[in-house]
Amino acid sequence: MSSRWEGIDEFVAVAESGQFTAAAERLGVSSSHVSRQIARLEERLQTRLLYRSTRRVTLSEAGQTFLHHCQRLQDGREEALRAMGDLASEPKGLLRMTCAVAYGERFIVPLVTRFMAHYPQLRIEVELSNSTLDLLHEGMDLAIRLGRLQDSRLVASRLAPRRMYVCASPAYLEHYGRPHSLSELARHNCLIGSSDIWVLQQEGRELSQRVQGNWRCNSGQAVLDATLQGMGLAQLPDYYVLEHLRSGALVSLLHAHQPPNTAVWALYPQQRHLSPKVRRLVDYLKEGLAELPEYRQG
């Protein structure tokens, strides 16, 4: 029984070049071989795919439809072969990535350093920045971002959870009282990090609440230290506060208004075939973050 694939490569080569001779040269076979294969293909399909003239070959209506599907089949076949080749290939060459400064220093860079020890042919450049860099414009292979995603041109892979807590020290609450509603936030000293907008939730809807206070610093660790010292309320992600919530050094507040869970994301430019170096690093980061105490105790 003839293979169902026979004649497809020949048909696509003729359709794309418009000539049997050019198609034969492209495939490295004879023109008569190309002609026989296409004739057998048309016979199997019981359909005329090509109109032949002395100078040019044109597609029938059925041939145009069939060409579209055949090109997709060829692309899929090549994609499968490349994927299988990548399974056996080691990450190598240059990988450029970016991450926020504090999170990158604390979590990502140590994991990246451990990852590199396994692949001596790999070079990695990490740019720590609190600005949202354009991966395509900057030539970046990978970005680690926190919270909610904005750029639809990028493919996202979830690395870890990220939950935000409003909290304060017991000493602050004893002196100033505990807020029970969002309207009461205005009566409290709110410690401000990189933004004076806190994302909260009210009746199932996300709410952006502007807060105010007498202290501000664009460092999560500095906000945490000030909160532990009883200076005010703060909104911080889980990996800063879980240990202190468990020990009682901090108290979680406004549970009903806690925002929907966000996440830590790996983002990379849209492409059908992800390179081995990026794919393996993303997998390594996901596994590595899951093993860290800050995430295990969540």
- Considering the domain architecture, whether residues 62 and 27 belong to the same structural domain is answered as yes
Characterize the bridge pairing of strands 262-269 and 154-162.
Answer: antiparallel
Do residues 210 and 185 lie in contact, with contact meaning Cβ atoms separated by under 8 Å? Answer: no
pLDDT tens by residue, 129-145: 888 888 877 888 999 99
Which pLDDT belongs to residue 81? 73
**Would residue 185 count as lying in a domain?**
yes
- Using left for φ > 0, alpha for ψ between -120 and 50, and beta otherwise, residue 102 falls in alpha
Residues 241 and 280 grouped into a single domain:
no
Tell whether 2 is covered by a domain: no
Q: How far apart are CA 256 and CA 208, in angstroms?
A: 15
* 247 and 179 assigned to the same domain: yes
Query: Are residues 19 and 74 both part of a single domain?
Result: yes
Question: Are residue 186 and residue 62 in the same domain, yes or no?
Answer: no
Question: For the chain, where are the E strands, in sequence order?
Answer: 50-52, 57-59, 93-99, 122-128, 142-147, 154-162, 164-168, 197-202, 205-210, 234-237, 251-253, 262-269
What pLDDT is recorded for position 275? 80
Low-confidence spans in the chain with pLDDT less than 70? 1-2, 54, 83-89, 150-152, 261, 271-274, 297-298
Q: Are 48 and 182 within one domain?
A: no
Residue 3 lies in a domain: no
The encoded tokens of residue 28 equal: 């490295």
Looking at residue 1, its pLDDT comes to 43
pLDDT value, residue 90 = 76
**Which of 89, 71, 54 is CA-nearest to residue 16?**
71
Residue 1 placed within a domain: no
d(CA 234, CA 211) in angstroms, rounded, equals 10
266 neighbors 162 (Cβ within 8 angstroms): no
Domain endpoint, select from 26, 60, 83: 83
What range defines the domain where residue 61 resides? Answer: 8-83
Q: How many residues does the chain have?
A: 298
Token couple for 104: 């990158």
Instruction: Indicate the pairing of strand 50-52 with strand 93-99.
Output: unpaired
Give the residue from 67, 83, 99 where a domain finishes: 83
Query: How many domains is the chain partitioned into structurally?
Result: 3
Whole-number Å distance between alpha carbons of 136 and 151: 11
Q: What is the CATH number of the domain that holds 32?
A: 1.10.10.10
Q: What is the CATH classification number for the domain harbouring 228?
A: 3.40.190.290
